[in-house]
Amino acid sequence: MNQLSFLKVTVFAALALLGAGLAKSSAQDSSGVIYSNDFAVNPLTPDGFTATDPQAIVWTQDAIHDGKGSLKLTNTDKTKIVSAIGAFVPFTGGALHVSVEAKTDGIVGGAQPWEKASVQIYYFDQNKTAIDYKWKNYSDTLPFAEGTQDWQTYDKAFFIPTSTQVAFIQIRFNLLRSTGTAWIDKIRIASQ
């Protein structure tokens, strides 16, 4: 094999290895999902979601976007907070991307700006004690549109300082002093 052929083979092999490394790196970046649920089965179980009001939060198949079921929250009383509270998910801070598919019917928000139909991410330390929320300024809320909206994807990125001692997150679907109905068909949370 002459020098030029050897050089071509070496460069080709180096490019192939570099390409493989890049593919692996981007696959690792896109695989940062720490929680995902398409509600194909009832999530209202002891190790899934708990409902603050079992009559107001149900798993249903009456409104489905991209799966076999959805989580349905209904509230008719503006003085109530209706929440589906998820299990603890390990997370240590940094960038977090939340994406959820939701549909709303007749949503009317409460008196305060944060009183909406929403997904909220709560933060806990290693003892599962809530972290002081003063540093977040309600940036942990992903609100849904008011009124009646067909299925749409809502997404938002959050940045949680790693110095806050966060060890877990907890997902909550809420109707915070808001009336109407919201369906959630899919949620995906990724650490970036």
**CA diameter of the chain:** 83
- Confidence band (pLDDT; 50, 70, 90) for 13? very low
Quote the domain boundaries for residue 10: 1-31
Question: Are 144 and 164 within one domain?
Answer: yes
Task: Report the pLDDT value the prediction gives residue 190, as an integer from 0 to 100.
Answer: 94
Looking at the fold, whether 72 and 41 belong to one and the same domain comes out as: yes
Q: Could you tell me if 71 and 21 lie in one domain?
A: no
What does the pLDDT look like over 39-98, one tens digit per residue? 988 888 866 899 999 889 999 988 888 778 999 999 999 999 999 999 999 988 788 899
Could you tell me which of 153, 132, 147, 155 has the C-alpha nearest to residue 181? 147
Output the six-digit token pair for 70: 């959805």
Angle at 20 (CA atoms; ends 18, 24), nearest 5 degrees: 115
User: Looking at the structure, do residues 9 and 100 belong to the same domain, yes or no?
Assistant: no
Using the CB atoms, write b or e for 59-82: b if 16+ within 10 Å: beeebbbeeebbbbbbbeeeebbb
Do 179 and 106 touch, CB atoms closer than 8 A?
yes
Q: Model pTM?
A: 0.78
Mean pLDDT value of segment 127-149: 77
Asked whether the predicted pLDDT for residue 18 surpasses 50, the reply is: no
pLDDT band per the 50, 70, 90 thresholds, residue 159: confident
Q: Do the bridges between strand 179-191 and strand 33-37 make them parallel or antiparallel, or are there none, so unpaired? A: antiparallel
Q: Do 67 and 17 share a structural domain?
A: no
Claim to verify: residue 74 and residue 52 sit in the same structural domain: yes
- What are the C-alpha distances in Å from 139 to residues 54, 56, 62, 101, 118? 28, 26, 32, 19, 12
Q: Which has the closest alpha carbon to 39: 188, 184, 180, 191? A: 184
Domain identity same for 83 and 139: yes
Where does the pLDDT of residue 114 fall: very low under 50, low under 70, confident under 90, or very high at 90 and above? confident
With beta carbons less than 8 A apart as the criterion, state whether 155 and 97 touch.
yes
pLDDT(14) > 50: no
Rounded percentage of the chain residues whose pLDDT exceeds 70:
78
When pLDDT is averaged across residues 26-37 and rounded to a whole number, the result is 66
Number of domains in the chain: 2
Provide mean pLDDT across the span 30-36: 83
Same domain, 69 and 126: yes
In whole angstroms, give the CA distance from residue 92 to residue 95.
10
Is residue 89 within 8 Å of 170, Cβ to Cβ? yes
The mean per-residue pLDDT over the stretch 108-115 comes to 91
